[in-house]
Chains A and B, each alone.
Chain A
Amino acid sequence: MSPNPVGARMEQLAQALAERIVPMVIEAIDIDALIDRVDIDKVVSRVDVDKVISKVDVEKVIERVDVEKIIDRVDINAIVEKINIDALVEQTELGSIIARSTTGILTEILDVIRAQGVGLDDFIFRWGNRLTGRRRRVADWPEGPPLLVEPKVTAGS
């Protein structure tokens, strides 16, 4: 409070007046009408969102988020029920991968036989090259047709 007694009384008077007037003014204002007159789009357009975002410490926000609590509140079963498994399998490679991954022992044997065949082919090809003495020259030979295999990049080219 002010040390001057007149000043103190004036201050009390002003305080009392304010306590009476302010609620009356607030009551008199039509907030809805006021808001209607505000051009929100214009206000928003003046906000520099990038600047606001740059000031936000995302790491800190994430740290405060309790992910486990969120997960607990998610009804996983309800989500799974909504997934159309048939459509998923039809629209992705998932179906063919599952089908191919679960085929019988015969196809696995075929995989091995094919790989063994490739190994034997290489063996015969190597021996053929040894017999003709062209082991180094073969290194520049194409491995396959240009549409199927990228041409080799050799040191000389």
Chain B
Amino acid sequence: MTVSAPAAELTVGRQGHYAGAVSRLVAFGADVGASWGLYTLGIALFNTSFKLVTGHSYNLTNHQLLALIILGFWEFIYFSYQWAVSGRTLGMAIFGLQVVTTEGAHIGVRQAILRTLSLALSLMFFWFAFWGIIFQRERRALDDLLAGTVVVYSWDARAARLRWMARTENAMHRRVPHPIGREHDPERGRHAAS
């Protein structure tokens, strides 16, 4: 079965455009999951190491304030480091998003840190902080407005299109001889079905 390539106007034609609410929300969800997973893994590794070295077990759940401070620090590092390095977090990379300046240039360390702190503020005032993604001219949330950033679609859509084309080409070359002598064209079959 050959699956048709996504429409070019939704992929190649949208690179650099302001990203919308759904992509950003899903990417943020992926980041929360990834950062939480890494935090849990880190805590488990720390507990195991502590037990191996000292012989005593140390459970961070018994020290909730400390756990909260460590989590907050970890989230700060997770977002600010990744934004400073490449303008995108793990979740944003998966969903093809990037944080850039309002002009479209790469953001610096200062903006990355400011955006991370602003994100915390946005989460605190979430009931109005994120409406800008839908209603604002440049689709900027509160954290974007405070940090002077925007979020754009940014993935290698051209390579993705080539990949689809290469796959379609392969499918064309793998034409199966039809029982009554005519060639079965998978491409034609796909278009007929769609």
Chain A residues within CB distance 8 Å of chain B: 96-97, 100-103, 107-108, 110-125, 128, 132, 141-149
Q: With A and B bound together, what is the CA distance between A102 and B103 in angstroms?
A: 35
Q: A121 touching B23 by the CB < 8 A rule?
A: yes
Cβ contact of A114, chosen from B16, B95, B163, B166, cutoff 8 A:
B95
Closest to A143 in B: B17
Report yes or no: B11 in contact with A111, Cβ–Cβ below 8 A.
Answer: yes
List, in ascending order, chain B residues with CB within 8 A of A100's CB. 156, 159-160, 162-163
A110, A116, A118, A142: which has the most chain B beta carbons within 10 Å?
Answer: A118
Say whether A111 contacts B160, CB under 8 Å: yes
Instruction: Please tell me if the beta carbons of B155 and A114 are within 8 angstroms of each other in the complex.
Output: yes
B73 within 8 A of A: no
Q: Which residues from chain B contact A120 at a C-beta distance below 8 Å?
A: 20, 22-23
A42 smallest CB distance to B (angstroms): 57
Give the number of A-B contacts (CB < 8 Å). Answer: 116
Q: Which of A97, A116, A148 has the most CB of B within 10 A?
A: A148
A108-B18 contact in complex given A115-B11, A142-B137, A144-B104, C-beta closer than 8 Å: no
Residues of A with C-beta under 8 A to B159: 96-97, 100-101
Q: Say yes or no: is B147 at the interface (Cβ < 8 Å to chain A).
A: no
B51 to A: closest C-beta gap in Å: 37
Say whether B21 contacts A112, CB under 8 Å. Answer: no
Give 4 nearest A-B pairs by CB, closest first.
Answer: A121-B20, A145-B104, A147-B104, A148-B16
B184 CB contacts on chain A under 8 angstroms: none
Contact flag A145-B162 (CB < 8 Å), given A100-B156, A115-B11, A117-B22: no
B100:A145 contact, CB within 8 angstroms: yes
Assuming A145-B150, A145-B152, is B7 touching A115 (CB within 8 A)?
Answer: yes
Please, how many angstroms separate the alpha-carbon atoms of A143 and B22 in the complex? 17
Of the candidates B6, B102, B164, B166, the one whose C-beta lies within 8 Å of that of A145 is B102
Interface presence of B1 (CB below 8 A):
no
Q: Which chain B positions have C-beta within 8 A of A143?
A: 16-18
Q: How far is the CA of A128 from the CA of B133 in the complex (A)?
A: 10
